[in-house]
Structure 1
Amino acid sequence: MPKGKTMRAQQYDQRDNKLHLNTIPIPSPRDHELLVKVSCASLCHSDVMLFEPNDQGLILGQNPVTIGHEASGVVVSTGSGDVASKFKEGDNVGFLCAVECCYDCKPCREVHNSWCETGKTQMQGFSQNGYFQEYVVVDARATMVLPDGMDVKTAAPLFCAGVTAYHGVEDCGLEKGQWMAVVGCGGLGHLGVQYAKAMGYKVIGLDIADAALEEAKKCGADHVFNSMTDKDWKKKVVEITEGGVDAAVNFTASKKSYDDCPAIIRPGSGLLMVVGIPRQPLELNALDIALGKYRVKGSNNGTCHNMKPAIEFSAKHNIKPHLTTYKLEDLPKMIELMNAHKATGRMGVVFD
């Protein structure tokens, strides 16, 4: 239980576009909520987008706001409602960041909580306080107890990056032995490589950072290419795959990487899976799409209804995020490393 009534939190302030390590009150859970002591909160690229000009629909609410939407922790107390009462003090849990939605309408079940019919959805870490703080309240309906053997201090990246990468790979619908390009082998992509190999696909890793490519090889990639330094990478991918990859899953925030993808996708049957969100809107050749050169699809990257299969698959196949840990006051440094493409795997704040 908390020893006091306040806690430390890394909060983004729109007024100066900076982070501030503030002291704020510890929240209390409502009937449908759990109070969780955060064990680990990990950094996602969309957290960093708060500091960047973008037109991709990030909506802020309160100001300042605690950033972070990817975490795991231990239940401290529960609300009095039926759903919350299914959890108990001491449970190791992971959770997703969409709150105030109904979780039960067709969009919530089959599309994404962002499009809930109530129109009330908010995202922790953006429009409500997120997870780079010592305690947080989460909705019990978007929370699950970790599988046996899963470490609560390293599981955090699975509750955004893991669920996103798993469904980005699985939703391609490939058969074993087909070729998949994982575009961007960092925080999301290194997990994508692991999921793709566990599903029986042949994998080509693409990135502009050699360290990320080394990570991809450790995760099982069959081939890797630096798309910045190897001028012939597109030709090589087409030759290796005998016509192009069956799916290119783009985990990056690079518009150029999206522009490059059609050249390596197998004509007529190949798929471009959109996961990463660049600052600028994507530009697609309408003739290519109209004539069936390749298909474009997005992946439902994380709701309470598709969270559990991703986490259970991770536990079954021993898929783990490669996590570098820091202290809460080091979050600005973590952001600098991410922006400089000097981070491999995932970076997270581990709380005592």
Structure 2
Amino acid sequence: MTSPIIPPTMLAAQVQAYNAPYVLTTVPVPTNLGPHDLLIKVAAASHCHTDAMVRAGTFSTPLPCTGSHEGAGTVVRTGSAVTAFRAGDRVMCGLPLEPCGACADCTGPENQTHYCAHTAGAVGVVSDGCFAEYVRADARSSTAVPDTVSLVSAAPLACAGRTVWRAVGQVGLGEGRWLAIVGSGGGLGHIGIQFAKKRGLRVIGIDARDEGLVLSKEAGADVVIDARKGKEQVVKKVHEVTGEQAGADATITLADADSAAALACAVTRMHGTMLQIAQPTEVKIPFHEFIFRDIRVRGSVLCSPGESRQMMDFIALNGIDVKGNLFYGLEKIHDLVEKVELGKIQGKAIIIVDEEQIRREKELGAKF
């Protein structure tokens, strides 16, 4: 296979100052790869709530930093120790860079390896990300994309998909059980509904936006409830739906509203589980909502490399419909941010960085 020509510079959308717009600029292509690195020609990259946190300085990100930790594309170069990928492979970018390999999480159960606290960074969070023509990612946390899955879908799955896939698995519910999702009509929520339904669960979608309620229904939620009706009415409706067990078997919280975690506990049956994904400054739960009702409250983030491969295998077999709002070219970054900040967007905001890759993959049979 002929090696692709890699230019010395590329276009990138960078955070150059906190609480300021992205700056579209020309930067060097990151060709100085470590042994486990991949250089990926980005096909698509998407916006996540975490990107707004990066721009706000929440993670004390060293600046300048290229945005987006959700990207997918084609491998053009590999590090000396990489054996799982080669040039030409379609890949969903990993987020963690250079895990230490020695801590309890790295050496512990595979489904905890992504919790390594001693990485060299995270793509698009404290290291340069996917709002660029090329990105450096770690092969050990990246995932091959099956021919049936589009790179446009794979980009938002890099964080939103991985995170909610793990969440649905972590609650441990069997077929026919009730799962509630607070914040069901967002980028993670509509994907989570589909994962849950395709695993045989019954889903209650709870959202506070008209667009979110519509998308929750379109994604397949069995019941959709408007959170704006207030906690008492939402809980009453959940109890009506779930009958004698009086609540969902488990609830996933994806909304970062001040009252979201408390509502999630309230709609969960006694002795059930509330899994917190959203990252508000403080997670606020009145004691009587979880102590007196024996609610198990736990957190979760991303997923391990093994779980990521399982997700992709599941999607290749069962399909997924990622609701995408497409923007063509990195030059559209400001349009994307404006639409996101208006709060009227459905699903994920995605920039098509390389249209040629997207055209080619149709020949492979990409349909999800």
TM-score normalised by the chain length of structure 1 = 0.90
Greater CA drift, 191-200 or 102-111: 102-111
Greater CA drift, 155-164 or 8-17: 8-17
Which residue of structure 1 lines up, in the alignment, with residue 91 of structure 2?
Answer: 93
1:155-191 per-residue CA deviation (whole Å, 9 max, x = no partner) reads: 2111111111111111101121111111112100000
1:157-168 matches, cutoff 5 A? 157-168=156-167
Which residue of structure 2 lines up, in the alignment, with residue 348 of structure 1?
Answer: 350
- Picking from 30, 34, 48, the partner of 2:34 is 30
Which residue of structure 2 lines up, in the alignment, with residue 171 of structure 1?
Answer: 170
- The 3-state SS of whatever aligns with 2:259 is helix
Fraction of identical pairs, as percent: 32
Q: CA–CA distance in 1 between the matches of 2:120 and 2:250?
A: 32
Contact 2:21 2:334 in 1 (8 A): no
Shift of 1:37: 0.3
Letter of the aligned partner of 2:12 in structure 1?
Answer: A
Contact 1:250 1:258 in 2 (8 A): yes
Which residue of structure 2 lines up, in the alignment, with residue 335 of structure 1?
Answer: 337
Q: Does 1:6 align with 2:22?
A: no
Contact 1:73 1:153 in 2 (8 A): no
Shift of 1:112: 5.1
Letter of the aligned partner of 1:215 in structure 2?
Answer: L
Q: CA–CA distance in 2 between the matches of 1:16 and 1:341?
A: 18
Shift of 1:338: 2.3
Which residue of structure 2 lines up, in the alignment, with residue 181 of structure 1?
Answer: 180
> Structure 1 288/211 Cα, relative in aligned 2: closer, same or farther at 3 Å?
closer
Which residue of structure 1 lines up, in the alignment, with residue 205 of structure 2?
Answer: 205
Q: CA–CA distance in 2 between the matches of 1:299 and 1:309?
A: 17
1:207-246 matches, cutoff 5 A? 207-229=207-229, 232-242=233-243, 243-246=246-249
- The 3-state SS of whatever aligns with 1:27 is coil
Shift of 1:249: 0.6
> Structure 1 244/15 Cα, relative in aligned 2: closer, same or farther at 3 Å?
closer
- Picking from 75, 79, 100, the partner of 1:102 is 100
> Structure 1 80/115 Cα, relative in aligned 2: closer, same or farther at 3 Å?
closer
Q: CA–CA distance in 2 between the matches of 1:222 and 1:299?
A: 24
> Structure 1 253/52 Cα, relative in aligned 2: closer, same or farther at 3 Å?
farther
Q: Does 1:45 align with 2:49?
A: yes
Across the two proteins, how many residue pairs are aligned to each other?
Answer: 342
Q: CA–CA distance in 2 between the matches of 1:174 and 1:16?
A: 41
Q: CA–CA distance in 2 between the matches of 1:126 and 1:299?
A: 18
- The structure that is helix-richer by fraction is 2
Contact 1:271 1:295 in 2 (8 A): yes
Contact 1:48 1:335 in 2 (8 A): no
- The 3-state SS of whatever aligns with 1:344 is coil
1:169-318 matches, cutoff 5 A? 169-184=168-183, 185-229=185-229, 232-242=233-243, 243-267=246-270, 269-278=271-280, 280-286=281-287, 288-318=289-319
- Structure 2: which 5+ residue stretches go unaligned? 355-368
Contact 2:18 2:55 in 1 (8 A): no
Contact 2:18 2:57 in 1 (8 A): no
Which residue of structure 2 lines up, in the alignment, with residue 323 of structure 1?
Answer: 324
1:193-227 per-residue CA deviation (whole Å, 9 max, x = no partner) reads: 00110111111111111222111111111111121
